[in-house]
Amino acid sequence: MSFFKKLKESISQKTETVTNKFKEGLTKTRTAFVERVEELILRRKKIDEAFYEELEEILIGADVGVNTVMTLIDELRVEVKKRKIEDASELQPVLSEKLIGLLKGDEDNKLHMEPSGLTVILFVGVNGVGKTTTIGKLAHKFKSEGKKVLMAAGDTFRAGAIEQLEVWGQRVGVDVIKQSSGADPAAVMYDAVQAAKQRGVDVLLCDTAGRLQNKANLMEELNKIYRVIQREVPSAPHEVLLVLDATTGQNALSQAKLFGEKSGVSGLVLTKLDGTAKGGIVIAIRNELQLPVKLVGLGEKMDDLQEFDSEQFVHALFAGLIQSAEGEQSDS
C-alpha cells in the first residue's frame, strides 16, 4: 500500500496546481470519459477479464485509439499482477500514471524559442481547424509577455483568410504582412522575414494555406516556404505547428499522419478541446505519432490558448476519481 500512498500524495499535489482553464475546458471529456470509468469501478469492484474489456470499450469510445488502448491495457495487466492489486479502486492512480507516461514521452512540450533574435513559427493544417484563430491568440499571448510580434498572411488562396488574420491583428494590436489574394505565399514569407528583421521583431507567426485552388501540390508549396525562410534565417522555422480540430477525433489523427510524414511538423496544436467529449484523441495522437502536443485551445476567449501540460491534462480529467480513491483509502 506504500506505493498507493506515495502516488496518491504526488497526485494530490499536482491536482492542486491544475489551472482552472484545464478543469473548465475538459468538462465534456471528463463527463463522458471519467464518469464512465468511475461507474465501471464502482460497479465491478474486482479486476477481471470483463473489467478489462469494458475499460477497453470506454477508452476506445473516448478516441484514445485502438493501438494505444491495447498498449495501455497490456501495461495495466502487468502492473496489477506486479503490485498484487485486487480492488478496482486502486487502479485509478495507476491508470492516471500510465496516461501521463503515454503523453509525456521524451519530447519537450515547450515551444522552441530563439534565445536571442527572431523566432519564426509556421502553422500548417487543413482549412476550418482554427489555424488563424490560433495564430491570433498566440500573438496575444506573446505580446502580453512583452514580446514584439508580427504575423504573416501566407494563406493567399482561401477567400477571406487574409482579412481574417487582419481582424485578429487589429484585435491584439499586431501588424500583419500581406500581399494580394492569390499571391505567391513564399513571396509573402520573404517580405515578412525582411520586415521582422528591420523592425527588431521577437516572434514571427506565419499562416499557410490549408489547400490550394490550383493543381499545385500543397506539400511542395510548404517546402518552398521553408526554403525561403531558411535562406533568410538559417535556424528557422523554429517550430512547425500542425493545427488540428480535436472534435474531429480520428480524422484529426489521419491529418496528423499526412502532414507529419511530409511537412516536417515539430509539434501539434489541438483546438476546440473544450467542445469535444473525446479528449482521448490527445493521447492517441501523441502515442501513435510521437509528436508533442504544444498548445491546446480550451475555449473561445483570447487567453484560452494554453501551453499543453500532460500532467495537468490527466489530473484535470482524473481529479474527481483521485479524490474518490483517497476517500476510500482513508475510510479503510
Helical pair 2-17 and 310-331, crossing angle rounded to 10 deg: 130
Q: What's the pLDDT at 324?
A: 44
- Percentage, residues of the chain above pLDDT 70: 84
Highest mean pLDDT among 16-20, 25-29, 125-129, 258-262: 125-129
131 annotated as ligand-binding: yes
pLDDT in tens, 103-112: 776 557 889 9
273 annotated as ligand-binding: yes
320 annotated as ligand-binding: no
247 annotated as ligand-binding: no
Higher pLDDT, 106 or 97: 97
127 annotated as ligand-binding: yes
Beta carbons of 243 and 129 less than 8 angstroms apart: yes
Beta carbons of 148 and 201 less than 8 angstroms apart: yes
291 annotated as ligand-binding: no
Q: What's the pLDDT at 310?
A: 78
271 annotated as ligand-binding: yes
Pairing of strands 293-297, 305-307: antiparallel
Higher pLDDT, 204 or 126: 204
Q: What's the pLDDT at 215?
A: 47
Higher pLDDT, 49 or 11: 49
126 annotated as ligand-binding: yes
What string of DSSP letters covers 215-254?
SS-HHHHHHHHHHHHHHHSTT--SEEEEEEEGGGTHHHHH
Beta carbons of 152 and 176 less than 8 angstroms apart: yes
Q: What's the pLDDT at 166?
A: 96
Mean pLDDT (the chain) is 82
Q: Does the pLDDT at position 53 exceed 50?
A: yes
Q: Among residues 318, 248, 249, which one has the least CA distance to residue 283?
A: 249
* Spatial distance between the Cα atoms of 146 and 135, rounded to a whole number of angstroms: 17
DSSP SS3 for 116: coil
209 annotated as ligand-binding: yes
303 annotated as ligand-binding: no
Q: What's the pLDDT at 87?
A: 84
Q: What's the pLDDT at 326?
A: 43
Confidence tier at 15 by pLDDT (50, 70, 90): very low
Highest mean pLDDT among 121-135, 186-200, 300-314: 186-200
| 45-59, 110-124, 303-317: segment of lowest average pLDDT | 303-317
Domain 119-308 in this protein, CATH class? alpha beta
Residue range 166-185: average pLDDT? Answer: 94
| 181-195, 218-232, 234-248, 297-311: segment of lowest average pLDDT | 297-311
Q: Does the pLDDT at position 227 exceed 80?
A: yes
| 97-111, 119-133, 145-159: segment of lowest average pLDDT | 97-111
Q: What's the pLDDT at 322?
A: 46
pLDDT in tens, 233-283: 999 999 999 998 887 777 777 777 777 666 688 888 988 887 665 677 788
Residue range 73-98: average pLDDT? Answer: 86
176 annotated as ligand-binding: no
pLDDT in tens, 295-327: 988 878 888 888 888 777 777 776 655 444 444
Q: What's the pLDDT at 171?
A: 95
136 annotated as ligand-binding: no
Q: At which residue does the C-alpha cell 478489462 appear?
A: 52
Beta carbons of 93 and 205 less than 8 angstroms apart: no
Q: Which residues contact 60 (CB under 8 A, 6 or more apart)?
A: 66, 69
Higher pLDDT, 50 or 2: 50
Topology (CATH level 3) of domain 14-107+312-331: Four Helix Bundle (Hemerythrin (Met), subunit A) (1.20.120)
- What are the residue ranges spanned by the domains of the chain? 14-107+312-331, 119-308
Q: What's the pLDDT at 280?
A: 75
Rg (CA), the chain: 22
Beta carbons of 131 and 137 less than 8 angstroms apart: no
Higher pLDDT, 46 or 12: 46
210 annotated as ligand-binding: yes
Higher pLDDT, 82 or 314: 82
Residue range 38-48: average pLDDT? Answer: 84
- Percentage, residues of the chain above pLDDT 90: 36
